[in-house]
Amino acid sequence: MENENLENIKEESINEDNTIRIADDVVAVIAGVAVSEIPGVYGMAGSFAGGITEVLSGKKNLSKGIKVEVGEKDTKIDVNIIVEYGTRIPDIAYEIQNRVKKAVENMTGLKVLEVNVHVQGVNTEFDKDTKKTED
């Protein structure tokens, strides 16, 4: 009986042409984690609906601000970010492109054709402790 169940599971998990399809959301989460580790990135710029979902669920949406198109063997990725004031945007964009490409290719085996970085804003809020006060 157990052997029959195992055979059914094997048949269901392997496509007729033995291909593996990786969902867009999986690639988006991998890219999101890679971007979140880069200093100078204040946050991800996502849609209003995504922000509401994040607030209501209480969970951080790791794919927020990332759009992915996955083909059979390759992928294209768009990253929408908000940078911290005072950081060099070209340096951050280059670092994002390198880290996202490396992470996605290593974890999925897909060839990353493009990593487009879109800077949607600059965070200019400063902590009260870091502001210089005049005496």
Q: What's the number of domains the chain is made of? A: 1
**Stretch 15-37: mean pLDDT:** 87
Neighbours of 98 (CB within 10 A): 13
If you average pLDDT over every residue of the chain, what do you get?
A: 80
Residue 116, both tokens: 């487009």
> How many CB atoms are closer than 10 A to CB 41?
21
User: Is residue 48 domain-resident?
Assistant: yes
Q: Kindly tell me the burial class for residue 44, based on how many C-beta atoms sit within 10 Å of its own C-beta (0-12, 13-18, 19 or more).
A: buried
Residue span of the structural domain in which 101 resides: 20-123
Is 30 part of a structural domain of the chain?
A: yes
In this prediction, residue 20 carries a pLDDT of: 81
Q: Taking a C-beta distance cutoff of 8 angstroms, is the pair 70, 28 a contact?
A: no
Q: Comparing C-alpha atoms, which of 83, 91, 80 is closest to residue 115?
A: 80
Query: How many whole angstroms separate alpha carbon 50 and alpha carbon 54?
Result: 6
* Domain-located, residue 135: no
Mean pLDDT for the stretch of residues 7-36: 76
With respect to residue 13, please indicate whether it lies within any of the assigned structural domains. Answer: no
Query: Mean pLDDT over residues 36-41, rounded?
Result: 95
Q: Determine which of 17-21, 47-51, 64-68 has the lowest per-residue pLDDT on average.
A: 47-51
CATH code, domain with 30: 3.30.70.1350
